Amino acid sequence: MKVMAQVAMVMNLDKCIGCHTCSVTCKQTWTNRPGTEYVWFNNVETKPGAGYPRRYEDQEKWKGGWTLDRRGRLRLKAGGRLRKLLTLFHNPDMPSLDDFYEPWTYDYQSLTTAPLSDTFPSARPKSQLTGRDMRPVHGPNWDDDLAGAAEYAAADPNLRGLAERVRLEFEHTFMFYLPRICEHCLNPSCVASCPSGAMYKREEDGIVLVDEDRCRGWRFCVSGCPYKKVYFNHRTGKAEKCTFCYPRIEAGQPTICAETCVGRLRHLGVMLYDADAVLDAASVQDDKDLYEAQLSVFLDPHEDWVREAAARDGIAHDWIEAARRSPVYALIKEHRVALPLHPEYRTMPMVWYVPPLSPVADAVHATGYHDDDPDRIFAAIDALRIPVEYLANLFTAGDTAVVEGVLRKLTAMRGHMRAKQLGDPADRRLLERAGATADGVEDLYRLLAVAKYDERYVIPKTHAEGSGALMAQHCSLDRPGGVADLASHDEVDPAPPELPGLAAPGGGAHFRDSDGQVRFNLLGWNGSAPAPGLFGGTEGSAP
Amino acid sequence: MNSWDLWWWVILPYLALVTFVVGHIWRWRYDQFGWTSRSTQLQEGRLLKWGGPLFHYGAFAAIAGHVLGILVPESFTRRLGIPENTYRWFSSVGGTVAALAVLAGVAVLAFRRTTVPRVRATTSPVDWLALILLAVVIVLGVIPTLGINLFGAGYDYRRSVSLWFRGLFAGNPDVPAITHAPLIYQVHATAAWAILAVWPFTRLVHAWSLPLWYLWRPYVLYRRRVPAHPAEPGTGGRRWRRIGVRY
Ligand code: HEM
Ligand code: SF4
Ligand code: SF4
Ligand code: SF4
């Protein structure tokens, strides 16, 4: 057993309003540079929809993630190591820019320089790759809010097996938003696919990063990630990906996308897990067992033996304490309402989702019933196979029972809190049918509905005690008397001992300057006595 | 041998070799960030699918052929008991296959570079220079391979070009050997050492990064967060300088 810590995220999809604020703030922070115009470390998709890049979830085509070989061993879906080296010159599984979209801007200048005319001037779209005129035909959220659903939503790979029953006409359809970032997987196939070994998972917090200095542009990480969350910078020729805003995480702050989330639906916290169990968990035979398998990898920080093992494996005390208060652990493991996105890719993703109740509630509402009536919703969960099966394709590799269980619990939570606030008697039967307790759903309610900033984000700071020595390396002010000379600022302590030979004749004074030389200070000098070291001199040359 | 010959066939090649070595050391130390294949597959894939592998596999075969033909002396193959005719036949057939692959590959890649706007837009001037030199080397290398060896009388480069080239490394280049070779060989050789001189400053450095380690390393790599050294004073934090990148 090897205990490791991971900073993980849970998003509560019911609260996402699809405003794309997270995408925009992330872009302003990380990818507002030439070469990354088409890159969205955070993107928000409307589901059902084709996604970004289009149909990225179709792994039969893109070959991302892992799969089991005939002998049940975990293999990269895109093939073995030798095959990768032999196809270095052209990666057969690489998505093209058109699968993302060709980024464009507008020729705004023409608006101000156009000559006077009877018609309005217009700004033509220009490709940000070539600078030529272009016709935008796709964007990162082209099918937002089911726009063009007849064409795009039908292309959603999660509708497999449901296609003949899903009706995408306006009155019958359902939708919700799915904000996506890199999953910072426990078993990252991007890392495994990188021939250079430039990608790595950080031991301290599990963040998956690209070492830009060691990336050689072989672009196998791009195709290796099933979530298509590694991007190729077409100007620098290097791969880039979501950094989980590691400089902020190191400082104990939430990621930009979480910090700015309008719906306040993102939770960040520490998960402790057994790194030695990951491979076995990722190799279970049945896709539908992957959710439970991943749950079994997580360790309960409330158990004494786990805390002892964590301390033994070098996890700092404040990190273990943070793991106990982790909202992410509570949602994933205690309440079991958060689910992983596409566990069947076998990468063990670490950004989990509380599935939305809204598609079901909407459907009940459409039938004229009150969508707060738990009985109705329970009935609807059973009856409305389509949204549930769809959610199961997203979150549990098709296991509808798990999704149903979560939706029941969320419904029970709503019913219970509603009754409580109206002063109605608590309906014990409701909770029982969802397998929940009153305390449990009240805590869940607190987490999902009222948790404040420091309850949503429990992020311990990185231990960087050792890095101070490095920082001082180039600082020339840490000499005696310099800014970094703490003693010279300290008024309580006695003054530091006089440097040898620093009492100068003739009223002048000697001082040691920033490059360590002893110089003569003209201030207070009587003008006639000798002024040794006026033009600088080494320590030894001072009288 | 006049001074022009000395300059052209001895001094410049040595300067190119020195630039090659020193340039690589410099680039490795100062420009890890620029050390990449600068793949353009994102922009265009259909032509690359053919051009990339044809060119590279052809180039590897051609390089192997050069090692055999130029660096291995004739006396060595003779001592191994390989008759001249067998050697000729083998080098002609092998050379022809490699030549055709490399030629087709470079044609597709050149077509792609010049006509696909997205690819064109990412090409820096020094890339153009390297690609043109490569094209010259390849075309002029292929013509003799196909024309003279297969159809013509056959010209024994092992008695001329090879002597000069091997001499470069031995320290006593045989200048008359190359000056008496046909012009086409001379231009080929010239472009070849010119490539060596620009190599470290182009994307061609990617050739040294063939990631063989991948074959036996563990799949998932972990690294500890290491505090980075602060930037060198006066560099504004940039540890690398970009070469040949217009942006
Ligand atoms: C040793 C192993 C080598 C590997 C693994 C390798 C790999 C690659 C890769 C991945 C690309 C990018 C293809 C793309 O656009 O996606 C590339 C391009 C290129 N390579 Fe290599 N290469 C190797 C050796 C060489 C050698 C020896 C040469 C020249 C003699 C060479 C010349 C080129 C050129 C000219 C391009 C640019 C092609 C273009 O116009 O797009 N490579 N190589
Ligand atoms: S989601 Fe992130 S960590 Fe997981 S495989 Fe993709 S890029 Fe790697
Ligand atoms: S964690 Fe940071 S880099 Fe990643 S998507 Fe969110 S804002 Fe972007
Ligand atoms: S900012 Fe929050 S609410 Fe808005 S789209 Fe992103 S995740 Fe959804």
B29-75 tens-digit pLDDT: 888 888 999 999 999 999 999 999 999 999 999 888 888 777 777 77
Residue finishing a domain among A403, A425, A456: A456
Ligand 1 proximal residues by C-beta, below 6 Å: A 88-89, 218; B 37, 39-41, 48, 52, 56, 59, 109, 113, 131, 134, 204, 206-207, 210
Q: Indicate the pairing of strand B222-223 with strand A199-202.
A: parallel
Q: How far is the CA of A90 from the centre of ligand 1 (A)?
A: 10
Neighbours of B246 (CB within 10 A): 12
Q: Which residue of B41, B120, B229, B246 to mutate against A (max A Cβ within 10 Å)?
A: B41
Give yes or no: residues A382 and A433 share one domain. Answer: yes
What range does the domain containing A416 cover? 360-456
Domains identified in chain B, total number: 1
Q: Among A82, A202, A218, select the one facing B37 at the smallest CB separation.
A: A218
pLDDT in tens, A43-94: 999 998 899 999 999 999 999 999 999 999 999 999 999 999 999 999 999 9
Tell me what pLDDT residue B80 has.
Answer: 79
Q: Could you read off the pLDDT of A202-223 as tens digits, one per residue?
A: 999 999 999 999 999 999 999 9
At B79-124, the pLDDT tens digits run 877 777 787 787 778 888 898 999 999 999 999 999 999 999 988 8
A220 Cβ closer than 6 Å to some ligand 2 atom: no
- CA end-to-end span of chain A, whole Å? 66
Q: Is A279 strand, coil or helix?
A: helix
Contact residues of ligand 4, CB 6 A cut-off:
A 16-22, 44, 177, 179, 261-263, 265
Mind giving me the DSSP string for A356-407? -SHHHHHHHHHTTS-TT-HHHHHHHHHH-HHHHHHHHHHHSTT-HHHHHHHH
Sign, CA dihedral A270-A274-A279-A284, equals negative
The tokens describing A539, both together, are 């320590």
Predicted TM-score (pTM) of the model is 0.85
Question: Is B232 contained in some domain?
Answer: no
Number of domains in chain A: 2
The residue segments making up the domain with residue B55 are 3-215
What does the longest C-alpha to C-alpha distance in chain B come to?
66
Q: Has residue A398 been placed in a domain? A: yes
Question: Of A447 and A121, which is predicted with more confidence?
Answer: A447
Contact (CB<8Å) A470/B227: yes
CB contact under 8 A, B247 and A466: no
Distance to chain A for B61, nearest Cα, Å: 14
Residue A543 lies in a domain: yes
Tell me if B102 is assigned to some domain: yes
Q: Which ligand is nearest to the CA of A342?
A: 2
Cis peptide before A530 (omega within 30 of 0): no
A543 confidence band (pLDDT: 50, 70, 90): very low
Q: Which residue of B30, B214, B232 is the best one to mutate when testing the A interface, meaning the one whose CB has the most A CBs within 10 A?
A: B214
* Whether residues A396 and A420 fall in one domain: yes
Per-residue confidence band for A259, with pLDDT thresholds at 50, 70 and 90: very high
Q: Same domain for A366 and A451?
A: yes
Q: Is the pLDDT of residue A473 over 50?
A: no
B22 assigned to some structural domain: yes
Report CB contact under 8 Å: B41, A236. no
> Taking a C-beta distance cutoff of 8 angstroms, is the pair A414, A376 a contact?
no
Q: Which of A9, A11, A16 most suits a substitution to test ligand 4, by most atoms within 8 Å of the C-beta?
A: A16
In a domain, B98, yes or no: yes
pLDDT digits (tens, 9 = 90+) for A231-243: 999 999 999 999 9
Contacts of A204 in chain B (CB under 8 A): 224-225
Residue A371 belongs to some domain of the structure = yes
Whether the CB of B207 is below 8 Å from some CB of chain A: the reply is no
The reply to whether A490 and A412 lie within a common domain is: no
Residues A500 and A412 in one domain: no
Q: Is residue A523 part of a domain?
A: yes
Cross-strand bridge partners of residue A12: A354
pLDDT of residue A475: 47
Map residue A113 onto helix, strand or coil: helix
B35 occurs within a structural domain: yes
Residue nearest to atom 19 of ligand 1 (CA): B37
Q: Which of A86, A89, A221 to mutate to test the pocket of ligand 1 (most atoms within 8 A of CB)?
A: A89
Q: What is the CATH number of the domain that holds B91?
A: 1.20.950.20
Per DSSP, helices labelled H in A212-265 are 220-224, 246-250, 256-259
A476 and A507 share one domain = yes
Number of other residues whose CB lies within 10 A of the CB of residue B238: 11
Q: Is B41 in contact with A474 (Cβ distance < 8 A)?
A: no
For the cut 70, the answer to whether the pLDDT of residue A366 exceeds it is no
Q: Is A29 helix (H, G, I), strand (E, B) or coil?
A: helix
- Asked if the model's pLDDT at residue B155 lies above 70, the reply is no
* Residue at A514 is within a domain: yes
User: In terms of Cα–Cα distance, which of B143, B150, B37, B140 is closest to B91?
Assistant: B150
Query: Quick check: helix, strand or coil at residue A289?
Result: helix
Give yes or no: residues A377 and A421 share one domain.
Answer: yes
CA-based nearest distance B157→chain A, Å: 32
A191 in any annotated domain: no
Q: Does the residue A415 lie in any domain?
A: yes
**pLDDT given for residue B76 in this prediction:** 80
A201 falls within a domain:
no
Does residue B40 belong to any structural domain of this protein? yes
Are residues A364 and A415 part of one domain?
yes
Same domain, A477 and A513: yes
DSSP state of A537: B
If asked whether residues A428 and A501 sit together in one domain, one would say: no
State which ligand 2 atom lies nearest to the alpha carbon of A65: 5
Which residue's CA is minimally distant from atom 1 of ligand 4?
Answer: A261
Dihedral angle over CA of A431, A436, A437, A443, nearest 10: -110
User: Residue whose CA is closest, atom 6 of ligand 2?
Assistant: A225
Enter the DSSP assignment of A482.
Answer: S
Distance CA A471, CA A465 (A): 11
Q: Does residue B101 form part of some domain? A: yes
CA dist A248 to A31, A125, A244, B98, Å? 16, 36, 8, 53
Q: pLDDT confidence of A160, banded at 50, 70, 90?
A: confident
- Gap from CA of A21 to ligand 4 centroid (Å): 6
Which domain CATH number covers A438? 1.10.3650.10
